[in-house]
Amino acid sequence: MGKLVRDKIPDIIRRDGREPAVSVLDEAAYREALLAKLFEEAAELRNAPIDEVPEEIADVLEVLRALAQVHGCEWRDIERLADAKRAERGGFRDRLYLA
């Protein structure tokens, strides 16, 4: 069972004296692996102690950036879309929960 890892992880493993088994995913497999990674990172964020939350948010953000790129989207365009949606529909600041 493998998983998508950050680009420098194989080098870090090699520095530890081990040889990682690494392959490069095709486009479709990469998209699927990114989505799986997003769920993995979101679960880690959900279960993180308070002091680790910023690091876990950063991990989720990195996966989201990669997903945007693989779908041909510029991150600044994603931010503009988010800003427009926030202006039209609001954000989540008010903590509203629709029952």
pLDDT in tens, the chain (99 residues): 689 999 999 999 999 999 999 999 999 999 999 999 999 999 999 999 999 999 999 999 999 999 999 999 999 999 999 999 999 999 999 999 999
Separation of CA 84 from chain center = 22
- What's this model's pTM, rounded to 2 decimal places? 0.90
Question: 17: which 2 tokens?
Answer: 């004296």
Integer Rg of the chain from CA: 17
> In CATH, which of 3.40.50.10490, 3.40.1280.10, 2.130.10.10, 1.10.287.1080 is domain 25-88?
1.10.287.1080
Q: What is the pLDDT of residue 91?
A: 97
